[in-house]
Amino acid sequence: MSSPDATCWTLIRDAAGGDPAARERFARAYLPAVRAYLTARWRGRHSVEDAAQDVFVECFKVGGLLDKADRGHGGFRAFLFSAVRHVAQRYEKPARPVGSLPDALPADDTGPAAAFDRAWARALLREAARAQEEAATRAGPPAIRRVQLLRLRFHDGLPIREIARLWGEDPARLHHEYATAREEFRAALRGVVAFHNPTAPPGELDRLAAELLGSLG
């Protein structure tokens, strides 16, 4: 998020306009979910990488997906999901004429949809982790240490008492730092959710953030 008022729609606008940095970030944000959907749908029957590239061709071409995306409908996730489904159908029916994406794209694939949503959640959680790390770098060593604490607890699975022993810290003090680190991550995640769902009210942002945290449990 390059500015406090940036949203997924400013990213989409810049990517549609040909900005290289915006297109790189767009691909980094959405490619994992695109791949996950195609992989779950096809299970080796078609080329996931070729189809994923076609999705982004549809996104970036003049009059393509990014030009059609409607900010009045909230976040971009549902529209992208429908577009991936449409591209998949084109691969499954090669005799079907290849034209531009229709304005209305239904989506009802439960199995691949679950894979898409899980990859989407992971991508947003990674983005929140990056945002927390960037904020910690600006804040200084204590905040950086809290990021390291969170990584040891979640990525490495170490209990607080073991981290306290390794760091030579008082476990009670480290529990307090851990609680602060979790709140900092929640704030970063809420910012990411707001970026991707710019029309959602505050209560809805909290609910979406909680769903993301629970989706990988």
Residue 71: per-residue pLDDT: 56
Question: pTM for the whole thing?
Answer: 0.71
Q: Which of 140, 134, 125 is nearest to 190 (CA)?
A: 125
Looking at 1.10.3720.10, 1.10.260.40, 1.10.1740.10, 3.40.50.10490, the CATH number of the domain 1-108 comes to 1.10.1740.10
Domain boundaries, the chain: 1-108, 121-217
Handedness of CA 135, 141, 146, 152 (dihedral sign): positive
Q: Which of 164, 156, 180, 76 is nearest to 123 (CA)?
A: 76
> How does pLDDT run across 12-30, given as a tens digit for each residue?
778 878 888 888 888 888 8
For 107-125, b where at least 16 C-beta lie within 10 A, e where not — what string? Answer: bebeebbebbbbbbbbbbb
The H or E element spanning position 176 is helix 171-196
Separation of alpha carbons 38 and 119, rounded Å? 11
> How does pLDDT run across 104-142, given as a tens digit for each residue?
444 445 578 888 888 888 888 988 999 999 999 999 999
| Radius of gyration of the CA atoms of the chain, in A | 20
